[in-house]
A and B are shown apart, each in its own frame.
Chain A
Amino acid sequence: MQDIFSNLALGLQTAMTWTNILWVVIGGSLGTIIGMLPGLGPATGVAVLIPITFGMNPATALITMCAVYYGAMFGGSRASIMINVPGDASAIVSCFDGYQMTKQGRAGPALAISAIASFIGGMIGMVFLVFLTQPIAAAALKFGPAEMFSLLLFALVATITLSEGNLLKGLIAIAFGLMLSTIGIDGMTGIIRFTYGVESLNDGIDFLVIIIGVYAVTEVYKNFKDTNAVYKLDSKSIGKVWISREDWRRSWKPMLRNSPLGFIIGVLPGMGGSIATFMSYALEKNLSKRPEEFGKGAIEGLAAPEASNNACSCGAMVPLLTLGIPGSGTTAVMLGALMMLGVKPGPTLFTDHPEIAWGVIASMLIGNIILIIINLPLAIPLVQILRVPTRIMLPIIMGLALIGTFFLNYSSFDFIIVMIAGIIGYMFSKLEIPLPPLVLALILGGAFEQNLRNSMVLSDGNISIFFQKPISVVFLVLAAGTLVYALLRRKKHAA
């Protein structure tokens, strides 16, 4: 217990420098702006802003990316509330009651409750994060290759089983991601694999390039169909960005209830903000004495998913920081950017670089406070960004994506990869093949194969090693369990 507080104090010491606070403000504001733009969510936000973290020390870089992440979470719902266009998938639910409130002339309270709920969700999520990371990281330190392999297997399986969509297509996406991860020189034997004679591929494909391709370039392509969208925004009718005593009375319990729920969903791989928000909305509607008001401007219908969403983004940091396993698209991007800076998140982060691990956690506390300051008094000036037409924003996103690609390796070959990834991402979206499993498999593929091979070396080729270690068995059972659960759920769906 005392440990946690001294660690947190160390974290605050790291986070509370002027440079870091300045970057939290900048990152949070940029994240809020990108989060507001229709279709662009936190993953795109972090992906196009990666270059600004180059040249920073790793702690500042991670702090900045986190600020972008939850800034985008705060911002995502602004567009839902004001113009009924969700900034990203996790802000879809905020349209249901948020936009209805705006139509009733209650945009001010809607903006206020979304910021307040995001703040409360973020703070509660933070507390869970503080108490959970240390024990998980300590346990993970004892993992050998067999445990790591089973854990990675569970993470990959969970990504496709817990998310919506076709199971087989998820498997195919995983297979494609693993294929991409094997391109280049094999670290253990030095054999060149799957380069088909292209020398530039010898070092493998930088997964950040693929990520920028599928999260930024593809998103721009998806918007090509309708580049002339101009949204009407009536900022005079927003009124005071604050809530009444009655609003508070109706929403405090939903916020408190849904924050832990969102956090747990965030910790699980494959379950992101969109699932958290939908579940919270459904839960509140079921619990409410006035379910008929949901969808017609019920403030708790906005408060619950907003709190859940931000708690979820805290939850997603748990597997990233403690195990080095990203559970969502956004944390995958952050992992990639960190590896560029020479930091490997995972259990050793807490022993080797406690100042980074705890600095980030502490910065979330500061970030939450800063973001509520940005999002309450400055709500009205910020939503003016929505007036900037898509046809101006899209070229900027595209330009940033390509500059970002260049900074990764200073290689013009990467431009070929990023453009191809953009087209493939677009085709995948047309075929409804999910992208997050591909990205995750691409990132984790190297470790997945290496741990498999190392386990086999240890056990002298005996596959039973995975069933002899208790922790490994737990993960294998979990993987099998989620698979069975997914198959049963789909059967029920089909019936």
Chain B
Amino acid sequence: MTMNLITGIIAVAIGGIYLVTAMLLPEMRMGDRLGPKLFPTLVGILAILSGLVLVIQERKPERRSKKADFGFVTHRQVWIKILLTTVVGIAYGLVMDSLGFLIPTTLFMLFISTLINRGRLVQNLVLAVAFSMITYGVFAVALKLSLPRGFIEQMLPF
């Protein structure tokens, strides 16, 4: 499938879901002529129409766009790294409240640097520890922003 064909299909699909949701919104005007429905309805139609035209244009061979290549096969490694980063990144955010700033940040940095800078454990350890300590120093100590405090932070004088 070509890039424009996929884009068109995505636009029609998302626009469709959005439009249906917009239609189901309650009619409520309270002195507001248009209400909360009209604008989203127009946006949904815009997405669907643009997507449809894009798909129709792809039928003409001379205007066809390049074949889409997400690299799912050729760059499988990249996708594995992206998915891992996504999962670990979300987990990082979830544990920050309970574990504080320093431990999750160090662990996250160790993870991401190991992923990118593979096989250099010492370098990555230094990077992870230095990064979390420097950012803590800059944000919590120097700029006085409040950061989640875990048991390590509670032992610190600042």
Q: Which residues of A contact B (CB under 8 A)?
A: 51-52, 54-55, 166, 168-169, 171-172, 174-176, 178-179, 182, 186, 188-189, 191, 193-194, 196, 217, 221, 224-225, 227, 389, 391-392, 394-396, 398-400, 402-403, 405-407, 410, 412-416, 418-420, 422-423, 426-427, 430-433, 449, 452-453, 456-457, 460-461, 494
Contact = CB atoms under 8 A, between A and B. Distances in A.
Contacts of A166: 4, 54, 65
Given A172-B50, A403-B135, 18 more contacts: A52-B138, A52-B143, A169-B4, A169-B7, A172-B54, A175-B47, A179-B18, A189-B28, A191-B28, A193-B36, A196-B21, A391-B113, A392-B123, A395-B131, A399-B131, A416-B90, A419-B90, A430-B3
A406 B96 contact: yes
Given A168-B53, A227-B117, A395 B109 contact: yes
Contacts of B145: 51, 54-55, 407
B94 A412 contact: yes
Contact of A430 (B40, B43, B70, B143): B70
Size class of the contact patch on chain B: 35 or more
Interface in B13-65: 14-15, 18, 21-22, 25-26, 28-36, 39-40, 43-44, 46-47, 50-51, 53-54, 57, 63, 65
Contacts of B53: 168
A51 B145 CA distance: 9
B82 A423 contact: yes
A52 B109 CA distance: 19
B157 interface: no
Contacts of A403: 105, 135, 139
A453 B39 contact: yes
Contacts, number: 186
Given A175-B11, A224-B78, A399 B18 contact: no
B43 A399 contact: no
Given A182-B43, A415-B90, A418-B89, A168 B50 contact: yes
The SS class assigned to the A binding surface is helix
B76 to A, nearest CB: 11
Contacts of B22: 193-194
Contacts of A172: 7, 11, 47, 50-51, 54
B18 A395 contact: no
Chain B, interface SS category: helix
A452 B36 CA distance: 11
A402 B92 contact: yes
A453 B50 CA distance: 24
B50 A175 contact: yes
Contacts of A169: 4, 7, 54
A9 B113 CA distance: 48
B59 to A, nearest CB: 14
Contact of B113 (A55, A174, A395, A453): A395
Interface string B83-121: 001100110111011000000010011001100110000
Contacts of A457: 31-33
Contact of B89 (A186, A224, A415): A415
B47 A452 contact: no
B124 to A, nearest CB: 8
B55 to A, nearest CB: 10
Contacts of B14: 176, 179
A194 B18 contact: yes
A394 B116 contact: yes
A259 B39 CA distance: 41
A224 B63 contact: no
